[in-house]
């Protein structure tokens, strides 16, 4: 509809800018994670967990970048990458909570432990639900069916 119009050019420019910003952020986080891992004076377990956390953030940023790039190329908006991003984010939360539980002194309050276990359970539930959703869509060509519905034609 707005193929060559000012609005389409503006939208494309913003999408390219978002893609470039995500790429720069991912590179900065990766370099910073590596530098922090090498220079960290703290204990090894905490440093390792922080490094893994940084790498998982980079993976999330790259997956979002890939999704934006697909959209810039004119493909329909894919939702499966967001399921994967959600799974990675939930695993990252599980890692963070597990680290806090492990590295906390034995004097942790019962409320802290209970809250941490609740967070672990919720994050594990999110991973299960999103994994099941991803499994349900494994053979589907949902994007083409969505495009056909939007344009008013049949996908088959």
Tokens for 82, please give them.
Answer: 């967001």
The 10s digit of each residue's pLDDT in 44-93 is 777 887 888 888 889 889 988 888 787 777 666 677 888 888 999 899 88
The 10s digit of each residue's pLDDT in 97-108 is 887 787 776 666
- Helix, strand counts (H, E) of the chain: 5, 0
CA distance 150 to 148: 5
Q: What is the pTM of this model?
A: 0.65
CA distance 95 to 49: 8
CA distance 12 to 117: 44
């Amino acid at each position: 509809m707005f193929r060559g119009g000012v609005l389409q050019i503006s939208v494309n420019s913003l999408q390219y800018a978002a893609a470039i910003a995500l790429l720069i952020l991912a590179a900065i986080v990766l370099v910073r994670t590596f530098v922090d891992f090498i220079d960290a004076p703290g204990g090894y377990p905490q440093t390792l967990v922080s490094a893994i956390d940084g790498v998982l953030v980079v993976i999330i940023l790259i997956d979002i970048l890939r999704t934006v790039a697909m959209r810039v190329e004119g493909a329909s908006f894919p939702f499966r990458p967001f399921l994967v991003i959600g799974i990675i984010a939930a695993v990252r939360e599980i890692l963070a909570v597990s680290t806090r539980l492990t590295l906390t002194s034995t004097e942790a309050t019962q409320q802290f432990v209970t809250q941490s276990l609740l967070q672990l359970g919720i994050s594990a539930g999110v991973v299960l639900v999103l994994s099941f959703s991803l499994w349900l869509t494994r053979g589907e060509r949902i994007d083409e069916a969505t495009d056909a519905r939007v344009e008013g034609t049949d996908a088959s």
